[in-house]
Amino acid sequence: MKKNLSRLAPLALFAVMALPLNASGYVIGPTSPGKWGNPLLGTGATVTWSLMGGNVSCGLLASGCTTTALDAFLPSGFMTEIRHAFDAWSAVANINFVQVPDDGAAFDSTTASGDIRIGALPLDGANSMLAFSFFPPLNGNSGAGDIFLDYSEPWKIGFGGSGYDVFQVVTHEIGHAIGLDHVTGVSALMNPWYSEAVRGLQADDIAGVRFLYGPRAPIPEPASMALFTLGLLGVGLQRLWRRRRD
């Protein structure tokens, strides 16, 4: 049984799937839409993130709720996969992610931790919901953007065999945390069901994040930069030559 990749929207309510804002197969979250940084669509943002440790209070989600540290149940190498998940989004859109320490504050309370905090809970046992996350502001207090994994699931790194790939799931949840909702009818990472038919971001995922934050500015190719530098050097030599002739 494949598992649902879920999320919550305003902190006291489940999200209702919004209609696509254009003909592309992406769906924007229902918070006006929510995004980090400048609220103007298509503008970039810098977003911090941190990992909740164990025993962080999440009583707003359930009575007596506390988190479990990720290293208590995820496979060795999970940190690399989480960083790759953030990198996948920043590679295609004008959104930058910076890891910061987590101060252990309770969920949705005043905190100096990351804008996006990643923690783990006993959600609903094995073979049901893999994870859930919150949309970005405007959505609650510091809980906006936070992600929770189900520690009772069999997690793995890579495809094949039983279990659920850390990169695939976390990348999907980051999509919600930065403002994308589930989409159906297209081949996309933001589909609501876990699948290993595709890995990482697909065309509609990329279109959605670029709608919110704009495309990643292209980096000049080294050859182009070298030619530009040589051109400037040539101008300088020409001026020097002219001075000497004078």
Angle of helix 166-177 relative to helix 203-213, nearest 10 degrees, comes to: 30
Is 173 labeled as catalytic in the residue annotation? yes
> Considering 153, 173, 196, 221, which one is annotated as catalytic?
173
Which residue is it, tokens 């949705």? 108
State how far the Cα of 83 lies from the Cα of 63, in Å rounded to an integer: 31
Q: What is the rounded (10 degree) CA torsion for 168, 82, 92, 108?
A: 100
Q: Give the residue among 174, 205, 180 at the shortest CA–CA distance from 84.
A: 174
State how far the Cα of 133 lies from the Cα of 135, in Å rounded to an integer: 7
Q: Give the residue among 221, 159, 230, 180 at the shortest CA–CA distance from 33.
A: 180
Q: Is residue 10 within 8 Å of residue 31, measured between CB atoms?
A: yes
Neighbours of 110 (CB within 10 A): 10
Q: Give the residue among 175, 207, 210, 179 at the shortest CA–CA distance from 192.
A: 175
Angle of helix 78-90 relative to helix 166-177, nearest 10 degrees, comes to: 40
Helix %, strand %, coil % of the chain (to 5): 25, 15, 55
Q: Is residue 115 within 8 Å of residue 49, measured between CB atoms?
A: yes
Annotated catalytic sites, by residue? 173
